[in-house]
A and B are shown apart, each in its own frame.
Chain A
Amino acid sequence: KQEVTQIPAALSVPEGENLVLNCSFTDSAIYNLQWFRQDPGKGLTSLLLIQSSQREQTSGRLNASLDKSSGRSTLYIAASQPGDSATYLCAVREAAGNKLTFGGGTRVLVKP
């Protein structure tokens, strides 16, 4: 059974500092991995999707890496801003069209 873990559960940084969020999964046979952002009480916004054959994806200040063999992904957010404050969730999919298995999320606070 796939299990996804995110450490730390919460993170507080001053504005301008780079953020590093970690995600680990127990079964390396994944189809893809996706990072989401969730604002309090809201739905999920997809940030980056990495296919199993890829090592990383970039979008603006965001960069996500994937190491399938070690069961790890890292989301980097450069030069953090107060608007980056949110909960970040990673999720893995084990087959095309299949369900997502989520981690518990990392709650990020960027202080001005």
Chain B
Amino acid sequence: ETGVTQSPTHLIKTRGQQVTLRCSSQSGHNTVSWYQQALGQGPQFIFQYYREEENGRGNFPPRFSGLQFPNYSSELNVNALELDDSALYLCASSFPGTNTDTQYFGPGTRLTVL
């Protein structure tokens, strides 16, 4: 059973650019959630995808968008990057309806916006 993987590990961009982050969910999981974690803070929910449809969104502007593919992997896209977008971006996969309904987190992508 493979765990949750994310790519790239680190990324440096400049203000105004666009970025795409990728997440492969754990085998058998059909739900992916994305979180943003600023330095020294707890993760904040961005959005969740369930069977390729957005299934809930946190308080993030529309320039944060996502996709989920038929194999349940997912992308997070951020347009018009701002300095405050610098953070660790975490994805988590789960299979709702199981006994534990636990979210399993990937190692994260560290995004730096200059």
Contact = CB atoms under 8 A, between A and B. Distances in A.
Given A32-B101, A96-B101, A97-B31, A43 B106 contact: yes
B45 A99 contact: yes
B68 to A, nearest CB: 14
Nearest to B108: A43
Interface of B: 4, 31, 33, 35, 40-45, 48, 50, 55-56, 58, 88, 90, 92, 94, 96-97, 100-108, 110
Question: Interface extent on A, as a size class?
Answer: 20 to 34
Secondary structure class of chain A's binding surface, majority of residues: strand
A98 B94 CA distance: 10
A41 interface: yes
23 contacts: A4-B42, A32-B101, A34-B103, A41-B88, A41-B108, A41-B110, A42-B107, A42-B108, A43-B105, A44-B92, A44-B105, A89-B43, A97-B55, A97-B97, A98-B56, A99-B48, A99-B56, A100-B35, A100-B43, A100-B92, A100-B103, A103-B42, A105-B41
